[in-house]
Amino acid sequence: MPPIAKVEPITTARALRGPFDYLRPDGVGIGSVLVVPFGHRDVMGVVVGLAESSEVPDERLAAPRRVLDHDLPPELVDLAAWIGAEYCSTFARALALVSPPARGRAKLTWWATATGADPDGGRPPTDRQRALLGSLPRAAGADLAALRRLEARGLVKLERRATRRHVRHDAVGARRAQAPPLTADQAHVLAEIEARLGESEPPPLLLHGVTGSGKTEVYLRAAAGALAQERGVIVLVPEIALTPQIVSRFVDRFGDTVAVLHSKLSAGERHDEWMRLRSGSARVCVGPRSAVFAPIERLGLIVLDEEHDASYKHEGDPRYDARRVAGRRARQAGALLVAGSATPRPESVHRLRRLRLPARVDGRPLPPVRIVDMRERRGALHPDTSHALVDAPKAIVLLNRRGWSNFVDCRSCGHAWSCPQCDVALVLHRSAGHLACHHCGHRERVPQRCVACGSMSVARHGAGTERLEHELGEIGHEVFRLDADVRDATALLRRFEAAPRGILLGTQMVAKGHDFPDVTLGVVVDADSTLRFPDFRAEERTFALVAQLAGRAGRGPGGGRVLVQTLSPGAASIAAAARHDADGFLAGELGRREALRYPPFSHLIRIVCSAQEGTAVGEAARAVRGGLGDIPAAQVLGPAPLFRLRGRERAQLVIKAARRAAAVHAAGAAVAEVAGDRTRRGVSFSVDVDPQ
């Protein structure tokens, strides 16, 4: 083996570009994780290459201090190299993403074994003691005291052992370990998936199936197929707290071979789950976007559930998109990628081969959707909506706005309360007693009088989930509010599920993949809220939100219906969702995107410059613009000012390019050049490839 290990230290410093050479200890290869001396300190690093010789003189070549026992599969090192380049970040930062979670403290439990010694001269063991002895060896539990008495008599040996922290997977929804017989549509789709699983370079597939069409059952069968070929499986889901059902269905079906990685686990639990995957004792990983880095070798299948979900995009550097990374990883491993959704993205429809599940498993039609025109109305709810809510025992109400009211101003002088750090209005949270900025977290007390004119008359405008909760409560409904202000979403969903009556009210969180058969009414309170964003994805988001909410209603024998309140009853996305017309919407949207040259007909890269002070930002943004020069087949928009955020002025540039690699490269180089200029110390830059 070559004597030199090329090590990339895991640091966040952008200026530091490794890898650096060290002496290679025995047994160390690509993917090994080491602690190496680095400057005046020790840092963790990953071996990313091996070499026969080094340019560093022998006497300055250092040996690593330690080799850690959790090495990375070499393909994750490759994947990290790709992510670093693809998202204009660094190799080191990408390696941090794919590295194992910190070990945490080991959990120690008492372990009891029989010594095999004969009972001493005293009393013979009682029946209960005999039963205890017969159950060994095992971990001591509630009977530790009884085991201690046996230990005192020399019959049992007790010792502390580190055990795997057992991760409990909460179950929501009906349990069914037994696989149901497939419907004809499911069988058809599965046959195609299984045929692809046998190919060496299978093309990625899109499973487009209406809500309740049994996509999860198809994923389960596909996973079983991959496992039967002795290959591993990754299942990506949007957010575990909101979609515990799919996790329990995998655990019920496959048991201990499923590892779950999610943010609610302690560091130690995550580490243990990671090690189970690394050692091969678990072969299926279910988790949110970061699970795309699960250390599974011989990967056969990646499932991307609810592929339209925005949570697949990571908002820190590297700003990776787990959907694209999953595609890359699948290609690298020769694995099959199956992305599924009832409301797939236009990008996916355009790029992937599509399989369809056109009907619900139970054969019931999707619920009728009525558009409720709110243009002539005051108040949050139309009278028809209120009546429908009175009649329906269980309902889901979507209002995509947290808090009590969305802004507060003075009736006398018009002064509006806004965030001192960001140029946005503060939102009133009445029960918490404060005004809050939803961008930076700034809070202040609810004003008693106007800071500008002293008037006592402060007006609240608009309604958020908190206020609607109050109004619905007044009519006598039990309301279960689900939004980012709620701490334990899973517990709340479980309470709603168990309740005989009630309203699940919340932000877009209520439209995720829940399956509550007794919900007969779905209401979207302000369907335009997503349309008002000046973003080319506004239509797509609105369609998905309305269609997904519609999919939550009428799943049981009681049937159901959906009301969509809107100020733009003519909007194409809302009308298409009301007709359950995904194909019509997608065709129109793809046509519009092609005409305007938006993704998937181009690639977008967004560069944001920010600093305390406005002129520095403008200058830096213009310098980046200059540095971009002429990118072939691309258009550069901006620099344009953005609203101030967290006390920083901002400006952005958007590159719209036909050829991705050239544009990514140009963006990275231009930013590196301007950021390297010492006179621009106070300016930060972020590059977002495929911004959401």
Report the interface residues with Zn ion, using CB under 5 A: 410, 412-413, 415, 419, 421-422, 437, 439-440, 442, 450, 452-453, 455
Longest dimension (CA), the chain: 95
Number of other CB atoms surrounding residue 337 within 10 Å: 25
> Would you give the DSSP letter of residue 21?
E
C-alpha pair distances (Å), 228 with each of 5, 233, 262, 279? 37, 11, 26, 18
Cα gap 500→497, rounded to integer Å: 8
Q: Which of these, 318, 341, 324, 317, lies nearest to 603 by C-alpha position?
A: 324
Partner touching 349 among ligand ADP, Zn ion, none, CB below 5 to 8 Å by kind: none
Residue 213 contacts which entry, ligand ADP, Zn ion, none (Cβ below 5-8 A, type-dependent):
ligand ADP
Q: Which does 421 bind (CB under 5 to 8 A by kind): ligand ADP, Zn ion, none?
A: Zn ion
From residue 175 to residue 194, the character string flagging contacts with ligand ADP as x (rule: CB under 6 A) and all else as - is -----xxxx--x--------
Helix axes 144-152, 127-134, angle to 10 degrees: 100
The nearest distance, CB 356 to ligand ADP, in angstroms, is 12
Q: Work out whether 77 is an interface residue with ligand ADP (CB under 6 A).
A: no
**Given candidates 6, 24, 93, 215, which one binds ligand ADP under the rule CB under 6 A?**
215
Which residue lies nearer to ligand ADP by CB, 211 or 565? 211
Instruction: Rule CB under 6 A: say whether 560 interacts with ligand ADP.
Output: no
Query: Considering only CA atoms, which of 333, 252, 253 is closest in space to residue 75?
Result: 333
Q: How far is CA 75 from the centre of its chain?
A: 22
- With CB under 6 A as the contact rule, the residue among 204, 214, 464, 554 that binds ligand ADP is 214
- Residue 265 or 303: the one with the smaller Cβ distance to ligand ADP is 303
CB burial of residue 199 (10 Å; 0-12, 13-18, 19+): exposed
What are the phi and psi torsion angles at 56 (to 5°)?
Answer: -75, 130
Size of the site for ligand ADP (CB under 6 A): 15
Binding partner of 450, given ligand ADP, Zn ion, none, CB within 5-8 angstroms per partner class:
Zn ion
The span from the CA of 148 to the CA of 137, in Å, is 14
Cβ proximity to ligand ADP: between 284 and 621 the closer is: 284
Bridge partners of 208, per DSSP, are 341, 356
Q: HSE of 28 in the Cβ direction (CA atoms, 13 Å)?
A: 28
**Residues 6+ away with beta carbon under 8 Å from 80:** 91, 94, 95, 97, 98
209 is a site residue for ligand ADP (CB under 6 A)? yes
Q: Which of 89, 216, 290, 686 binds ligand ADP (CB under 6 A)?
A: 216
Nearer CB in complex with Zn ion: 80/437: 437
Helix, strand, or coil here: 478?
Answer: coil
Q: At its nearest, how many Å lie between ligand ADP and the CB of residue 195? A: 20
**Which of ligand ADP, Zn ion, none binds 419 (CB below 5-8 Å, type-dependent)?**
Zn ion
Q: Which of residues 342-401 bind ligand ADP (CB under 6 A)?
A: 361
Closer residue to ligand ADP (CB): 548 or 568 = 548
From the CB of 488, what's the least distance to ligand ADP, in Å? Answer: 23
Helix, coil or strand: residue 223: helix
Compute the least distance from the CB of residue 484 to Zn ion, in Å: 15
In the complex, the smallest distance separating the C-beta of residue 286 from ligand ADP, rounded to whole angstroms, is 14
Residues making contact with ligand ADP (CB under 6 A) = 180-183, 186, 209, 211-217, 361, 515
